[in-house]
Chain A
Amino acid sequence: MKRSYVLLIVLFALPLLDVFYSCCNCNDDVVDHYYSFSDFSVNNIDNSGQNPLESEQEEINKNAYGIRLYINKELLSNSEKSTNNKCYLFSSSAYAFSCDCDFSSYNLVNPIQSIKIFTLQDFNNEKLANSDVSEYFNVIHTYKTVEESIEEINKVFNRTSPDIFVDYLLMNAPSPENINHQFRIEITLDNEEIINLETIITLI
């Protein structure tokens, strides 16, 4: 009777020990990818309705105006393999509990340092021509500031659809006498490269 118990314990314990004392070997599967911003563009949006729509109209309701910033990203060719031997436990085995190998990692080259929106015409009494009016714009739905949106733009990368856009809504209407507007969006990258984009609109 006792021998059979001992035998049962040994039979169950061995696989359990094997599971406890094991780890993953991710040597062959991890690839580091690098990507960068390839293109930026802007469009005016009309947010009068339920959802914002890109507008080709010359006039948009000043209380429902926004700027859509398109950001195109591309994978670079200098992807490389790296070692990723994450041993959570002690010895190698095929029966690990968990095997959190990072099979691919995506690293952004030259992230965005700043995004600023300038008005090229007088906006109101406080913001005259060439003033920074970034504070008047907020991200749609979340109402994050332009500066707060940068972290999300730099972080998000979807391999199947790498291009994204961000809608910045104008939350402060201009003075009634100023209806013709021109905005310059200035994007500064980590390598100090500056990209300037402009959009023209009549806000009624």
Chain B
Amino acid sequence: MKKSFVLGLLISFIFSTNTYSQDSLAYKTRFQIRVAGGVNILFSDLNENRETDFLIGHGSDISVPVSFTFTTFFNKHWGMEVDLKISNDTGNDKKFTESIIQQYEASFFSTVTTGITNSTPMTGTVGIVYRKETEKFYFHPKLAIGVTSFETSWGRANLKEKNTNIEYELLYSANKTVKDHFAVLLSHAMGYKISKRFWVDLETSLLMYKTNIVYERALLNLYTQDSQKEIINYKKNILEANISLGLKYVFY
């Protein structure tokens, strides 16, 4: 009985619409915090169809990030927003290993290791937001700049040539372990005020950045010390789209 009473009270609190008069709270919020979950889609990805694709912690075409946003408005229409998005996309140790083994299995036995730590890619942005509100709805277009970071780890394989005494060391290394990229974000959120304090919205955004990752592949004959090197470039213009559903809590 008590539980159902409390639950009923909570629901009525969240969904009460009769506690304020018409137009009285539009443009009145000073601070807003938002938690959202969504889907990230890479329109231009980082794949080069090479084994090093699996060493980059941001290679999947689709990922599921969560974001935390803080917004403050300094006048009726304009405000500032800080956003942090954390993704589940990481490098793939297993796929890198399989790729190397498959590539060399005709002539070599391979023992593969990587430095993939599964650190989560993150995007942090700061920008300006414009608000257009009615009693029930709101529209927040935004423009922001920030940094997107993801891991670029090393990969190593010991190759023992079949039917010989020769061993090779294969090493993949990037010019930096964690890559930070300057990014520009365009987004728009459309929401509904389900209560005085709680709002829900749907946000779509486009994140644009340029990568400058360079991997070096070095194959070293451990007996003769002869080395072959190859450069694998990941210099691309990346476009990511994100659709998220968010819950806001507002302060007046």
Contacts and interface: CB of A to CB of B under 8 A. Distances in A.
Interface of A: 47-50, 61, 63-66, 138, 140-143, 169-171
B163 interface: yes
Contacts of A65: 165
Interface of B: 109, 111, 160, 162-165, 167, 222-223
Determine the main DSSP class of B at the interface with A: loop
Nearest to B223: A143
Given A141-B222, A143-B223, A64 B163 contact: yes
A141 B163 contact: no
Contacts of B160: 50
A141 B109 CA distance: 14
Contacts, number: 29
A48 B161 CA distance: 8
27 contacts: A47-B164, A47-B165, A48-B162, A48-B163, A49-B109, A49-B162, A50-B109, A50-B111, A50-B160, A61-B163, A63-B163, A63-B164, A64-B163, A64-B164, A64-B165, A65-B165, A66-B165, A138-B223, A140-B165, A141-B167, A141-B222, A142-B222, A143-B222, A143-B223, A170-B165, A171-B165, A171-B223
Task: List the 6 closest pairs (A to B, CB-CB), nearest first.
Answer: A50-B109, A169-B165, A63-B164, A48-B163, A143-B223, A47-B165
Contacts of B162: 48-49
Nearest to B108: A50
A71 to B, nearest CB: 21
B109 A63 contact: no
Contacts of A50: 109, 111, 160
Contacts of B111: 50
A29 B163 CA distance: 52
A63 B222 CA distance: 16
Nearest to B109: A50
Contacts of B165: 47, 63-66, 140, 169-171
A66 to B, nearest CB: 7
A170 B164 CA distance: 10
Given A138-B223, A140-B165, A141-B167, 12 more contacts: A49-B162, A50-B111, A50-B160, A61-B163, A63-B164, A63-B165, A64-B165, A65-B165, A66-B165, A142-B222, A169-B165, A171-B223
Contacts of B223: 138, 143, 171
Nearest to B165: A169
B182 to A, nearest CB: 44
Nearest to B158: A141
A61 B222 CA distance: 20
A85 B109 CA distance: 52
A66 B223 CA distance: 15
A100 B222 CA distance: 38
Of B109, B111, B163, most A-chain CB atoms within 10 Å: B163
Of B109, B165, B222, most A-chain CB atoms within 10 Å: B165
Contacts of B222: 141-143
B105 to A, nearest CB: 11
B168 to A, nearest CB: 12
B49 to A, nearest CB: 28
B77 to A, nearest CB: 59
Contacts of A64: 163-165
A140 B111 CA distance: 16
Contacts of A142: 222
B225 to A, nearest CB: 8
A143 B224 CA distance: 9
Contacts of A61: 163
Contacts of A140: 165
Nearest to A167: B165
Contacts of A63: 163-165
A139 to B, nearest CB: 11
A64 B161 CA distance: 10
A125 to B, nearest CB: 22
A50 B109 CA distance: 6
A138 B164 CA distance: 13
B22 to A, nearest CB: 66
